[in-house]
Amino acid sequence: MNDLSQVVALLRKLTHTDGKESLEESRWLRRLVSELPSETETDEEFDPEKLKSLVEGEEDREELLRVMLTMSLADGQTTADEWKLIQQTARLLEYPDDKLETLRSETVLLKDPY
């Protein structure tokens, strides 16, 4: 995936989905943006169809969803609205529901193994 501006736009949308951006989510997003190539547009509006055209292959889809899941847990929990956006993104990218549930379980366990 070459153009990461849609990923940034999606993650920004995710941080605002529950109506408030936590300090942890804000830090996480800033750190991610700081690691992107300097030519990446970071204030672009989210466009689902553009994202879909940019995400190629199962590996890219899984990595994006894993990042979304991890970011949603930055403040300690994934809200219902965040989970809904993650599910919508998975459907947009034609990522199977059962694989998303597995990915969610793995991500939660990595965040809190006990």
Domain that holds residue 75: 5-111
Mean predicted lDDT score pLDDT of the chain:
85
Range in 50-54, 91-95, 110-114 the model is least confident about: 110-114
Domain count, the chain: 1
Separation of CA 36 from chain center: 15
10 Å CB burial of residue 47 (0-12, 13-18, 19+) is middle
Higher pLDDT pick, 110 / 79: 79
- Distance between CA atoms of residues 41 and 105, nearest Å: 32
